[in-house]
Structure 1
Amino acid sequence: MKIYLSVYYLLQFCGHSWIFTNMTARLLFFGKDSFADTFYTIGLVMQVCQLLSVLEILHVVLGMDQQSFLPKFIQVTERLVILFVVISSQEEMQSKCIVCVLFFLWNLWDVIRYPYHLLSAVGIDYPALTWLYHTLWIPVYPLSLLAEVYTVYESLPYFEAFGTFCYKMALPFAVSIYFPYVLKVYEVILPAGMLYTCNHLLLERNLYLKQRHLKLKVK
């Protein structure tokens, strides 16, 4: 099990590191011009990495990973919805600046998160990385939420214009699904999920700081 988890976290780290490095290099070389084709350059790798992240929910369910289920489920599903439903389904969204910002924030967190879990899986504690894992989320996670909400907001005119995912079903009574309304409800749900996840991460951070203080006190 340790070998499997180690390989999984290593693959995710390599994938997200490639994305992060590619985005940073393109931004340095091309500036704002790099925003327009960010999705076309790294979108496929991003989609593969996010699809693989579904396994993390399975890891928790099977007891292979001791992380809490609900925060992990929220984190994975919110990214899948934003990436595949909101961005990938609307070509006009893929060249937006906010998509580049969102991908940058996601991967900034992941290039720390995955090596931390990789080392934890093999029983290694690297203090600097552990501290960064328990601290970096404080600015990054709320900023990611703002970027996700704004991405949904930016996509609404396209869903309204093209009628994507809007259906009329002939049941015993007529049922219409107007997808922009679904997205507006999702915009309200996103902050609630973020608050729950942040509370969970804060509890983990407080426990980490308490244990760190006790270790320093013993020394």
Structure 2
Amino acid sequence: MMKYRLTKKDFTGGFTVTYDEDNESLIELKNTFKYKGQKPDHSQMMSFLQLVPFSQRDLWKIEKDFNIKKMEVNKKTENKELYHRFCQLYNQMVYKHTGMPADWTTAPQAYGTGIHKIIQYLLHSSKEKLGHRATLSEIDTQALQAWEYILNHWEVIQREDEFLTRQIKPMQIASNLSSIIMILRNEARKSTPNQGISSQSKLDDLYG
């Protein structure tokens, strides 16, 4: 579910609208609008209701009519499939650069916590990049693409910062993620003009 709060100047309360995550259609609307302590009259309320779009993708069309704020939905912000894909990509990177599989057996909880922290960081960055109109699926995809990009360019980290490449456990990567992203940005700027445009565009697309 995707939930938004719609408010208006000079009014207290507002609409709370909920959209289906998959087809983005309106599934619930709650009204708490008041003007000077009283509910707006029927005609005024109907004029407000007629503005509310039936599709979440059309919310931008009413930005001049309402203040729009995305609300946190009381559910996990990551799904099991996303977590599985993040782990899969991490395992592939570790094997590629060490010749050994990632050691989840000695500290499985710490490894899992590290992956969760990485996911939360990249989900937050993706939300900021995509804006309030983005679906949870789009945000998940953006975060996964960012993670894949980072791991596919791990040799850049190896070349630029030997210390960071020794910090290969998920919790260590999570702690150094902002530094890792900065290294990739700087490397893109040092590329040849044609490569630089492509690489920098990709980084901007992923990290904003």
Per the shorter chain, which TM-score range?
under 0.3
Per residue, is there more helix in 1 or in 2?
Answer: 1
Higher relative contact order (CA 8 A, sep 6+): 1
